[in-house]
């Protein structure tokens, strides 16, 4: 299979006052024609930056971006916009439909922004695309008249408008209920198998990734072929097992109990608590306080 998308040693860094943040670190990635690639990672891992660079919405600090065999790294913004409109389709979590345009018109727009189709041709193709995503009966409805799942299907039809080399999807089921999300996942799978469309899906949803033909993982700006070790979780477990952490926890607990005991004594002085209840509570608190003090070597 040919490579639809190839990223070579891609890095992305942002300058800010006082330093630099490196978001992507030497990313090497290829997406082959006819596959569904899922990129999984938590928030802040760099997956949205990766998608933006793959979609030419952002430029890498260094490295190469090759789409459909064309190296677009040095393209100007105008050249990228023209290239992007024909070769790349986008589906976003928030649908991004124009609210004053019907489903049909939203699907027509990408075609009318190129010189490939006139209005009549774009309308004819848009009808067929809406039929493919199961919305032919909703062609003249506005986004506000459609459910979230239906709006996302319009977004998919729009992404397919110019027969792109690849469709990039950013958390496409993030705003959908379970039933609607399942329908979108099924549609993506069907479009891949029957329509032959190539997809790259960025998500943290394991269920969405399950429809992919290949899954890669991103963590701290680096790509992995298998889930990376959960270093933060491991570090936390180690920290919690340490005696230092245990002492800190006991001291915090001791302080909480002492403040509660002080509060009870104040309530007793002010006559806001019954003596019998006070005696029972304060004895229990003092027993716990003394136990913690012994553990901490304070008694």
Span 60-64, average pLDDT:
96
Q: Contact at 8 Å (CB) between 64 and 7?
A: yes
Q: Phi and psi dihedrals of 38, rounded to 5?
A: -105, 130
Give mean pLDDT, residues 53-64.
96
Strand residues in 53-180 grouped as ranges (E): 62-67, 70-71, 88-91, 166-170
150 band by pLDDT with thresholds 50, 70 and 90: very high
Residue 259 pLDDT exceeds 80: yes
Question: pLDDT-based confidence at 231, cuts 50/70/90?
Answer: very low
- Encoding tokens for residue 11? 């890095």
Residue 2 has pLDDT above 90, yes or no: no
Q: Is 134 helix (H, G, I), strand (E, B) or coil?
A: coil
- The span from the CA of 215 to the CA of 206, in Å, is 10
**pLDDT 10s digits, 188-210:** 999 998 888 999 999 888 887 88
Domain ranges of the chain: 3-228, 234-295
CA 256 to chain centre: 39
Whether 173 and 206 have beta carbons less than 8 Å apart is answered as: no
Q: 3-228, which class in CATH?
A: alpha beta
- The pLDDT of residue 63 is above 90: yes
User: What does DSSP assign to residue 114?
Assistant: S
| Distance from C-alpha of 220 to C-alpha of 205, rounded to nearest angstrom | 18
Across the range 40-50, mean pLDDT stands at 89
Say how many C-beta atoms besides its own lie within 10 A of residue 218's C-beta.
Answer: 22
**12 three-class SS:** strand
Q: What is the pLDDT of residue 1?
A: 66
Q: Report pLDDT digits (tens) over 121-138.
A: 999 999 999 999 999 999
What percent of the chain lies above the pLDDT cut of 90? Answer: 57
Listed in sequence order, the residues at least 6 apart from 19 whose beta carbon sits closer than 8 Å to its beta carbon are: none
Containing 239, the helix (H) or strand (E) segment is helix 231-241
Contact 31, 20 (CB under 8 A): no
Asked if pLDDT for residue 239 goes beyond 60, the answer is no
Query: Which uninterrupted H or E stretch holds 37?
Result: strand 36-40
Token pair, residue 285, equals 């608190």
């Amino acid at each position: 299979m040919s490579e639809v998308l190839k990223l070579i040693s891609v890095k992305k860094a942002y300058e800010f006052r006082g330093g630099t943040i490196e978001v992507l670190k030497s990313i090497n990635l290829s997406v082959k024609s006819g596959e569904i690639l899922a990129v999984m990672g938590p928030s802040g891992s760099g997956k949205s930056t990766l998608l933006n660079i793959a979609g030419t919405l952002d430029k890498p600090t260094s490295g190469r971006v090759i789409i459909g065999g064309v190296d677009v790294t040095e393209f100007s913004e105008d050249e990228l916009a023209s290239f992007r409109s024909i070769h790349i389709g986008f589906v976003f979590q928030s649908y991004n439909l124009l609210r004053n345009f019907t489903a049909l018109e939203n699907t027509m727009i990408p075609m009318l922004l190129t010189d490939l189709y006139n209005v009549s041709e774009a309308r004819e193709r848009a009808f067929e695309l809406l039929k493919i995503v199961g919305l032919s009966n909703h062609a003249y409805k506005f986004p506000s008249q459609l459910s979230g799942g239906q709006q996302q299907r319009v977004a998919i039809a729009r992404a397919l408008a110019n027969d792109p080399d690849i469709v990039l999807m950013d958390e496409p089921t993030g705003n959908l209920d379970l039933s609607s999300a399942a329908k979108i996942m099924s549609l993506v799978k069907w479009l891949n198998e029957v329509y032959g469309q190539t997809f790259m899906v960025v998500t943290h949803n394991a269920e969405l990734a399950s429809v992919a033909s290949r899954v890669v993982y991103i963590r701290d700006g680096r790509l992995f072929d298998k889930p990376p070790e959960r270093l933060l979780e491991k570090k936390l477990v180690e920290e919690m097992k340490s005696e230092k952490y245990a002492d800190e926890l006991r001291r915090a607990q001791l302080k909480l109990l002492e403040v509660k005991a002080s509060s009870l004594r104040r309530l007793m002085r002010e006559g806001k608590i019954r003596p019998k209840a006070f005696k029972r509570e304060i004895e229990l608190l003092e027993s716990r306080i003394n136990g913690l003090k012994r553990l901490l070597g304070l008694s």
